[in-house]
Amino acid sequence: MISAGQPLPQVTENELKVMAYRDSLTGLGNRHRMREKVMAIAAERAEDPAPFTIGIANLDGFKPINDLFGSQAGDEILCQVAHRLKACIPDGATVTRHDGDEFAFLLPLVFEKNGAERLGQMIKEVLSAPYDLGDRNVRLSASFGFAIYPFAGEEFEELLKSAETALYRSKRRGRGQITVYSREIAQEMKRSTQLEQALRNAIIADTVEVHFQPIVRIRDEAVVGFEALARWIDADLGFVSPAVFVPLAEERGFIDALSDTLLRKAAEAALSWPRELFLSFNLSSAQLMDPGTAPSILATLGRVGLDPNRVELEITETAVMTSADTAERIIGELRHAGVRISLDDFGTGQSSLGRLRDFTFDKVKIDRAFVSRITTDRTSEHIVKAIIAMCDGLDLQVVAEGIEEKADADKLKALGCTMGQGYYYGRPVDAAATLRYLESHYRDFGFLECQRERA
Ligand code: C2E
Ligand code: CA
Ligand code: CA
């Protein structure tokens, strides 16, 4: 311990500098070192800006390994990665570690895309050999993003950001992918930023709408509920699919605001439906990772005055898998309040059966991919049949999605599927048209009387 009056240990300015530029775990340089190197080479080439490349490698699935084997094993792997990288990069290149399992390279002699991809491929192979942890071997893959100077950025920060964007693309495409920042990526980034701004404004202006698609009992085609589907038409961009803007809102971190607006509108509309009809609402995967989701949904339902017992939330397997503990807690809280949970797009995810055992769901929605081929493709028919039998055994309700033809409906009825949804029964329409749909489809149930009583 150092107390007052005692001389400080002697550290020379030079040693301090070395420490500030070094990653103490692996002995590689750190981000400051990379910055210094990139600035130096950029200055060198300022007169006649000859290209050079920077790259980032990120290990795939490193965190679960760290959690499973302990951080000491994790550190050991990082050191072995550092060692391999140092040994395999070309002469004159620099490798550094930034944070966690992210490494960066400066490649003065890589000038274009093909060169970057070739080098990425080589490094990827080097990193894929097993890691020796004494009592066991571990295998890992890595994803890569590359950015070429000066096209992808003239300053270090910009160049690194481009490489990170490319890396993010790689990660989105799966494991072990290599992406070089390109004109197309730059353009797409620009487009999504425009889209993001427009969508943020639309949320504030309250112009994102919800449409409703009937879910029916196949036996007699009686409507049992509606699925809410987000709709947005921008003045300049035109119709934008929710399959585009929902993931964008997730990626840019404002899915909560979007989802809250949509749920409020959907719940308000559901108030004027007959009480026995449910409202089914889609939750995005990001929401299943956020512990604030259940209270916020219940608060919205409370404000609008819609009974949680009339609400179902649709979630997907991938969403449940990404952050299983949090997802389980959220599902538990919602079910406790009376909300039912359905597993959406069933059959397209990765580990469907395991999920059904680990979590408590109320309903399964069979994906359109199987339903649409049910009359023409034997395999799809068998899969649907198996899902229905399994749901029967597990006491789960089952809905077939994407029913477009009477023949599909007949087939599903024969297979014992109880509920269905699709263009054959009705397309998604706005709240007013939904009420008109109910007027013509719900007469038997005294719906008109119930509306008149309210008025
Ligand atoms: P999803 O949850 O699987 O929704 C069903 C999609 O299938 C909807 O597309 C619906 O319009 C479409 N569809 C329904 N019946 C048929 C049919 O018979 N044939 C065909 N070809 N399509 C049919 P949509 O509205 O474009 O939504 C796409 C996806 O966007 C949804 O897939 C859902 O994942 C997401 N989404 C939509 N609204 C919301 C929302 O409010 N919140 C969240 N988190 N996601 C939403
Ligand atoms: Ca859905
Ligand atoms: Ca679906």
Residue 262 Cβ inside 6 Å of ligand 1? The answer reads yes
Peptide bond into 150 cis (omega under 30): yes
Q: What is the pTM of this model?
A: 0.80
Among candidates 264, 187, 178, which has minimal Cα distance to 228? Answer: 264
Residue span(s) of the chain under CATH 3.30.70.270 come to 13-181
Q: Tell me which DSSP letter residue 429 carries.
A: B
* Residue whose CB lies within 8 A of the most ligand 1 atoms, among 208, 213, 229, 314, for a mutation test: 229
Q: What is the pLDDT of residue 319?
A: 79
Residue whose structure tokens are 């009056």: 5
Laid out side by side, the sheet with 52-59 consists of 94-97, 102-107, 52-59, 142-149, 178-180
pLDDT digits (tens, 9 = 90+) for 386-444: 999 999 988 899 999 999 999 999 999 999 999 999 999 999 999 999 999 999 887 65
pLDDT digits (tens, 9 = 90+) for 107-123: 999 999 999 999 999 99
Report, in angstroms and rounded to the nearest whole number, the Rg of the chain calculated over CA atoms: 28
Residue whose structure tokens are 């490193």: 62
pLDDT digits (tens, 9 = 90+) for 1-59: 445 556 666 778 888 877 889 999 999 999 999 999 999 999 988 787 799 999 999 99
Among candidates 9, 93, 98, which has minimal Cα distance to 58? Answer: 98
Four-residue CA torsion sign, 203, 204, 205, 206: positive
User: Residues of 212-237 as b/e, b for ≥16 C-beta within 10 angstroms?
Assistant: bbbbbebeeeebbbbbbbbbbebeeb
Say if residues 101 and 58 touch (Cβ distance below 8 Å): yes
State both tokens at 449: 């009387």
Four-residue CA torsion sign, 15, 18, 20, 24: negative
Say if residues 145 and 167 touch (Cβ distance below 8 Å): yes
Q: Separation of 398 CA from ligand 2 center, angstroms?
A: 13
pLDDT digits (tens, 9 = 90+) for 157-204: 999 999 999 999 999 888 999 999 999 999 988 998 999 999 999 999
Residue span(s) of the chain under CATH 3.20.20.450 come to 194-454
**Antiparallel, parallel or unpaired: β 222-234 and 238-240:** antiparallel
Residues in contact with 203: Cβ distance below 8 Å, sequence separation at least 6, in sequence order: 254, 257, 258, 261
Report the C-alpha dihedral over residues 74, 75, 80, 83, rounded to 10 degrees: 150
Q: Is the predicted pLDDT of residue 309 greater than 90, yes or no?
A: yes
CATH fold group of domain 194-454 = TIM Barrel (3.20.20)
Question: Band of the pLDDT at 221, cuts 50, 70, 90?
Answer: very high
Please tell me whether residue 379 adopts helix, strand or coil conformation.
Answer: helix
Residue 263 Cβ inside 6 Å of ligand 1? The answer reads no
Q: What is the pLDDT of residue 292?
A: 95
Query: What are the start-end ranges of the E strands in 116-170?
Result: 131-132, 137-138, 142-149
Burial class (CB in 10 A: 0-12, 13-18, 19+), 344: buried
Q: Which amino acid is at 75?
A: D
Q: What is the pLDDT of residue 354?
A: 66
Nearest CA to ligand 1 atom 46: 282
Q: Separation of 344 CA from ligand 1 center, angstroms?
A: 10
Q: What is the pLDDT of residue 24?
A: 92
Among candidates 26, 29, 100, which has minimal Cα distance to 65? Answer: 100
Nearest CA to ligand 1 atom 42: 282
Say if residues 345 and 323 touch (Cβ distance below 8 Å): no
Report the C-alpha dihedral over residues 319, 228, 231, 271, rounded to 10 degrees: -140
Say if residues 89 and 182 touch (Cβ distance below 8 Å): no
N residues, the chain = 455
Residue 282 Cβ inside 6 Å of ligand 1? The answer reads yes
Q: Tell me which DSSP letter residue 217 carries.
A: E
Residues in contact with 214: Cβ distance below 8 Å, sequence separation at least 6, in sequence order: 223, 225, 226, 421, 425, 426, 437, 441
Kindly give the number of the ligand 1 atom that is closest to the alpha carbon of 421: 15
Right CATH number for 13-181 from 3.30.70.270, 3.40.190.10, 3.30.56.10, 3.40.50.280? 3.30.70.270
pLDDT digits (tens, 9 = 90+) for 65-110: 888 889 999 999 999 999 999 999 999 999 999 989 999 999 999 9
Residue 423 Cβ inside 6 Å of ligand 1? The answer reads yes
